[in-house]
Structure 1
Amino acid sequence: MTTRTTPESSPAVHLLDLHSLVVAVRRRRRLWGTLALLGLLAGAALAVLRPPAPAATATVLVAHQADQPNDTGTLIRTDVELLHTTRIAGQALRALNSPQAPQDFMRDYRGTGLTNNLLKIDVTGASDAQAVDRAEALADAFVADHVRRMREAADAEAKALREQRDRMRDELAQVNAQIGDSSADADPSASAGIESLFARRAELNSRIADFDQRAAEARTGTPKVVAGTQIVDDPRAVRHSLPRTAATDAVIGLVLGLVLGLAVAAVGTVVADRPVLRREIAANLGASVVAEVRRPHRSAAPWRRRRARAARERLTATLARTVRGTSEPVSLLELGCARGASAIALDLARVLAADGPVVVVDALPGARRADRRRKPGDPAVVGPGDAAAVPRGTRRIGVGSLAPGTAWTGLPDLGTRTVLVVRAGHGSAAWLHTVARQLADLLVPVLGVVLIDPDPRDRTDGTLWDGQHMALRGRTERPARQNGTGRAPAERPSWAVRVPDSDQEAR
């Protein structure tokens, strides 16, 4: 009969766990931090290696014939588009006596509408003097073109009005002739027709006067437009501050690098599907997380190192109680933390050496890692081939690997019971399922999982409450309270152990 260690499939499957995603992205802070730093350096380097080209600016006040207070900027946008035409670019180049093509010159300047009547012209050049000359030529060309267009529009409108007036005058002459002919005729029946002619003459006189007034107004408004369109800010070179430009580009690069790093970390997390939370690792391995060890950084504060040592001591004590409670050999199988597993095995062997001879069977790939951490007086470390020569009565502690390529059939030789030492976020969910299935097929019960380098903000529960046959304390410790039957109450299981990370948690 095979012991079932794989977890039951959950009826509700979440396509994306935001908590797991946030934790996984935070754990990959080295990636997005590096990309953000690279973006910062790239932005600063770009500002130094490719400084902005010399530039000049000018501001033009543009008066329009149809200016309205409620204009939404349509007229100034039209002026901006007219500035980017080959006609104005060609006029500016002719004023500069430059052989450059207008199409190429249009890429060196741009116009911006500041208000309904203010147009800003920005021009680049090979030098500050050339940029200023270009800006002046462009501003003059635009003003001249605008004035010419306004005058042509006013002349065209006045001409059309005068033509209408002349047609009215011709018609008025015809009406006057008809009135003279009717007055010479003494026929009384023609009196009604004469009255209509007089009314028509009055109407024509009124319309002729109106056309005269409108034609005069059309030409009168042109001088206002001509006088109002002028350069209000003379062309001047734009001074670039290298420190300010470098700081701006560095901040932009930092933001872009950070966004790119977060996106890469998030996508990589979703694609890789590497569990990082206690509950996910426990569910995928089918065993409870019974302890966790955080690896302190080399530059960590002294109190953090003391806390880490205290956690290692509590972990060693917990594993020692388990090993002492069984006569079968126990192994430590690592996934992503060979160095940590060998250190835990040596710590456990040192504690058990007080009870009798202990041998560490090191089956980790490569050179024996446990040998590197041995101290004078530590238990012996042998390889898998020398395990058969270990004297009977010597306690064996096996250390092996669960990385891809593992020889599964050799794991029972290391120990008939095992404790998994797993680094959070190292193995994918599919590989954790494979580990659980292979150990179940080999009839190697998993006593629990020791989690290495867990997320400090992980508040999930790594205990499988329906898997008490795999608990460490369920086999080796007596419950604190017992009922009349000598069994622990079902509603208060006490077999799961979590090694606290701080003295406050331990208390």
Structure 2
Amino acid sequence: MTTSETSESSTTTPLFDLQALVAAVRRRRRLWCSLALLGLLVGAAVAVLLPPPPSAVTKVLVTHEEDQPNDTGTLIRTDVELLGTTRIAGKALQSLKSPEKPEDFMRDYRGTGLTNNLLQIDVTGDSDADAVARAKALADAFVDDHVRRMRETAKAKSKALIDQRDRMRDELAEVNKEIGDRSPESDPKSSASVESLFARRAELNSRIADFDQRAAEARTGTPQIVAGTQIVDAPRAVRHSLPKAAVTNAAIGLLLGLVLGLAVAAVGAVVAGRPVLRREIAAHLGASVIAELRPVPRWRAGPWRRRRSRAARERLTTTLARTVRGCAEPVSLLELGCARGTSVIALDVARALAAEGPVVIVDGLPGPQLADSRRKPGDPAVVSGERAAAVERRERRLGVGSVAPGTAWTDLQYLGGQTVLVVRAGHGSAGWLHTVARQLADQRIPVIGVVLIDPDPRDRTDGTLWDGLHIALRGHSERFARQNEMGQLRTERPSRAVRVPDTDQEAR
């Protein structure tokens, strides 16, 4: 029987990490909250500064000859399109005695089919009275045009039926003449022809009667359509509520701004490629996260929050001081995106180490963050990077530097033989984190661990890198030193499979 122990992680990096995207978008909440607030203000401002013009509404009941219970709305859609024609607009303008062009007037109204037979007309004007007058003129013009079209259709249909009936009557007269010309004493063949003539006459009489009935029905149906097409809701002005419009527009602006902000934040997060989660930062730097610090905004800094922040800073100081004490070589703090915070951390660690002996802080930051920081009487001395060589060996040295773009990589070794990276989450891109790891490895500066500044509060990922199954990659130097003392430095990974003996004899 054999058991397999894999030393490499079996997890694969997903092509699209939704958790990282959500964390990156959440970190950009200032952007999408600002856009949402901007949309809210713009929507409310539009409602106040650009109020809707005076408008009126009316409803017209439209009756069609082809009305069916299962109609899908084709007829009412046709009426809506006919309402938007220059013919009806011109008739309405004629009744209003307005010199406006029909093409311009068509932009001020629109029709909406509410049901298969109910048409709503919305009209705008210079005032409420003007809008009501326009709506009435437009509704009357549409009703008149619809009735006229229905009458013309019924008249044309009735005329066609009457013409067809007259042709049948002419044919019937010819058949009657042929029957009258036949003599009563005729041979059997002639009798058969007479019988066919009589049958033809009967058929023509039936068809003539049918055409008469259909023509009468066509004429009778027109009054029903004329009476059914009418204005059922008199034109009236539409009242606009400014508070309601402001609230509605503000809500729409808020939603649009929020959607736009989230989209911009998501696209920016994908394009920038700046890791936020502990898991990603540790993987890109090749070092485990040993501590983290969450800054408290000033506007939310209550008494209990200040106590909590102070306690977290003390724990961080204790952790880093313990790490520095256990290192035989000088240790440096290298920042990425948090120079001021790193200066404060370095001063706190130096104060904690000063109780055991003299400590000197070597300032290798490109800016004056450390030199201009507030220091208390009795704090450790701060020297520049040029004077680092003059520091006595009996004094403990704590270097502070930067790994931001533009760093002089060859100067980092003078700050310390080992380093702790102080990285702000979401500041550096994945490519730059890889560059930092490669440059430190090239300078043979082991990375003890990573201190994460401003991590995502909802990040539940593990920031620990594992070498094999049970060895966490924290404090490379300590592990290597212990292995050197024991003379058991490993040069290869554990085997992938271990043979388990089946019997006691095989085990011996």
TM-score, scaled to structure 2: 0.90
Q: Which amino acid aligns with 2:152?
A: E
CA contact (8 A) 1:346 1:370 kept: no
Give the structure 2 partner of residue 420 of structure 1: 421
Cα deviation for residue 10 of structure 1 reads 8.9
Q: Alpha carbons of 1:84 and 1:103: their partners in 2 closer, same or farther (altered >3 Å)?
A: same
CA contact (8 A) 2:350 2:398 kept: yes
Give the structure 1 partner of residue 478 of structure 2: 475
Give the structure 1 partner of residue 410 of structure 2: 409
Q: Which amino acid aligns with 1:260?
A: L
CA distance in 1, matches of 2:42, 2:481: 62
CA distance in 2, matches of 1:10, 1:413: 39
CA contact (8 A) 2:296 2:309 kept: yes
Q: How does 1:46-445 map to 2 (within 5 A)?
A: 46-183=46-183, 186-298=186-298, 299-369=300-370, 371-445=372-446
CA distance in 2, matches of 1:120, 1:370: 76
CA contact (8 A) 2:448 2:477 kept: no
CA contact (8 A) 2:60 2:118 kept: yes
Q: Give a deviation string over 1:20-50, Cα, whole Å, max 9, x none.
A: 0111111111111111010111111111111
Percent of aligned positions that are identical: 75
CA distance in 2, matches of 1:394, 1:104: 89
Q: Which SS does the other structure have where 2:466 is aligned? A: coil
Q: Which SS does the other structure have where 1:378 is aligned? A: coil
Q: Which amino acid aligns with 2:83?
A: L
Cα deviation for residue 302 of structure 1 reads 2.8
CA distance in 1, matches of 2:283, 2:436: 12
CA contact (8 A) 1:419 1:448 kept: yes
Q: Which SS does the other structure have where 1:41 is aligned? A: helix
CA distance in 1, matches of 2:205, 2:419: 115
Q: Which SS does the other structure have where 1:455 is aligned? A: coil
Verify: 1:44 aligned to 2:47, yes or no.
no
CA contact (8 A) 2:36 2:256 kept: yes
CA distance in 2, matches of 1:259, 1:99: 46
CA distance in 2, matches of 1:473, 1:390: 26
Q: Which SS does the other structure have where 1:112 is aligned? A: strand
CA distance in 1, matches of 2:39, 2:126: 29
Q: Which amino acid aligns with 1:428?
A: S
Give the structure 2 partner of residue 5 of structure 1: none
CA distance in 2, matches of 1:103, 1:113: 22
CA distance in 1, matches of 2:328, 2:381: 20
CA distance in 2, matches of 1:12, 1:258: 34
Q: Which amino acid aligns with 1:235?
A: P
CA distance in 1, matches of 2:326, 2:11: 37
Q: Which SS does the other structure have where 2:367 is aligned? A: coil
Cα deviation for residue 186 of structure 1 reads 4.0
RMSD: 2.3
TM-score, scaled to structure 1: 0.90
Q: Which amino acid aligns with 1:313?
A: E
Cα deviation for residue 323 of structure 1 reads 1.1
Poorly superposed stretches of 4+, deviation over 6 Å? 8-11, 476-479
Q: Which amino acid aligns with 1:243?
A: P
CA distance in 1, matches of 2:119, 2:454: 61
Q: Give a deviation string over 1:238-288, Cα, whole Å, max 9, x none.
A: 111111111111111111100000100111111111111111100100000
Q: Which amino acid aligns with 1:369?
A: L
Cα deviation for residue 307 of structure 1 reads 2.2
Give the structure 1 partner of residue 4 of structure 2: none
Give the structure 2 partner of residue 499 of structure 1: none
CA distance in 2, matches of 1:35, 1:57: 36
The 10-residue stretch of structure 1 (249-258 or 93-102) with the greater mean CA deviation from structure 2: 93-102
Q: Alpha carbons of 1:20 and 1:258: their partners in 2 closer, same or farther (altered >3 Å)?
A: same
Unaligned 5+ segments in structure 2 are 1-7, 483-487, 495-508
Q: Which SS does the other structure have where 1:66 is aligned? A: coil
Give the structure 1 partner of residue 502 of structure 2: none
Q: Which SS does the other structure have where 1:72 is aligned? A: coil
CA distance in 2, matches of 1:59, 1:97: 23
Unaligned 5+ segments in structure 1 are 1-7, 480-484, 492-507
Cα deviation for residue 392 of structure 1 reads 3.2
CA distance in 2, matches of 1:277, 1:114: 54
CA distance in 2, matches of 1:232, 1:360: 90
Cα deviation for residue 312 of structure 1 reads 1.4
Cα deviation for residue 175 of structure 1 reads 0.7
CA contact (8 A) 1:321 1:476 kept: no
CA distance in 2, matches of 1:308, 1:293: 8
The 10-residue stretch of structure 1 (55-64 or 355-364) with the greater mean CA deviation from structure 2: 355-364
The 10-residue stretch of structure 1 (281-290 or 183-192) with the greater mean CA deviation from structure 2: 183-192
CA distance in 2, matches of 1:9, 1:72: 62
Give the structure 1 partner of residue 500 of structure 2: none
Verify: 1:448 aligned to 2:449, yes or no.
yes
Q: Alpha carbons of 1:19 and 1:11: their partners in 2 closer, same or farther (altered >3 Å)?
A: closer
Give the structure 2 partner of residue 33 of structure 1: 33
CA distance in 2, matches of 1:465, 1:13: 16
Cα deviation for residue 192 of structure 1 reads 0.9
Q: Which amino acid aligns with 2:123?
A: V
Cα deviation for residue 365 of structure 1 reads 2.0
Q: Alpha carbons of 1:9 and 1:360: their partners in 2 closer, same or farther (altered >3 Å)?
A: same
CA distance in 1, matches of 2:248, 2:340: 44
The 10-residue stretch of structure 1 (158-167 or 95-104) with the greater mean CA deviation from structure 2: 95-104
Give the structure 1 partner of residue 458 of structure 2: 457
The 10-residue stretch of structure 1 (172-181 or 304-313) with the greater mean CA deviation from structure 2: 304-313
CA distance in 2, matches of 1:183, 1:207: 28
CA contact (8 A) 1:279 1:461 kept: yes
CA contact (8 A) 1:274 1:426 kept: yes
Q: Which amino acid aligns with 1:336?
A: G
Q: Which SS does the other structure have where 1:369 is aligned? A: coil
Cα deviation for residue 366 of structure 1 reads 2.1
CA contact (8 A) 2:465 2:473 kept: no
Cα deviation for residue 337 of structure 1 reads 0.8
CA distance in 2, matches of 1:177, 1:185: 17
CA distance in 1, matches of 2:476, 2:367: 34
Q: Which amino acid aligns with 1:252?
A: I
Q: Give a deviation string over 1:99-141, Cα, whole Å, max 9, x none.
A: 2221221111110000111000001112112111111111011
Give the structure 2 partner of residue 496 of structure 1: none
Q: Which SS does the other structure have where 2:259 is aligned? A: helix
Cα deviation for residue 371 of structure 1 reads 3.6
Q: Which SS does the other structure have where 1:134 is aligned? A: helix
Q: Give a deviation string over 1:291-321, Cα, whole Å, max 9, x none.
A: 1111112123433332222221111111111
Cα deviation for residue 478 of structure 1 reads 13
Q: Give a deviation string over 1:456-501, Cα, whole Å, max 9, x none.
A: 111111111118695239829999xxxxx9xxxx99xxxxxxxxxx
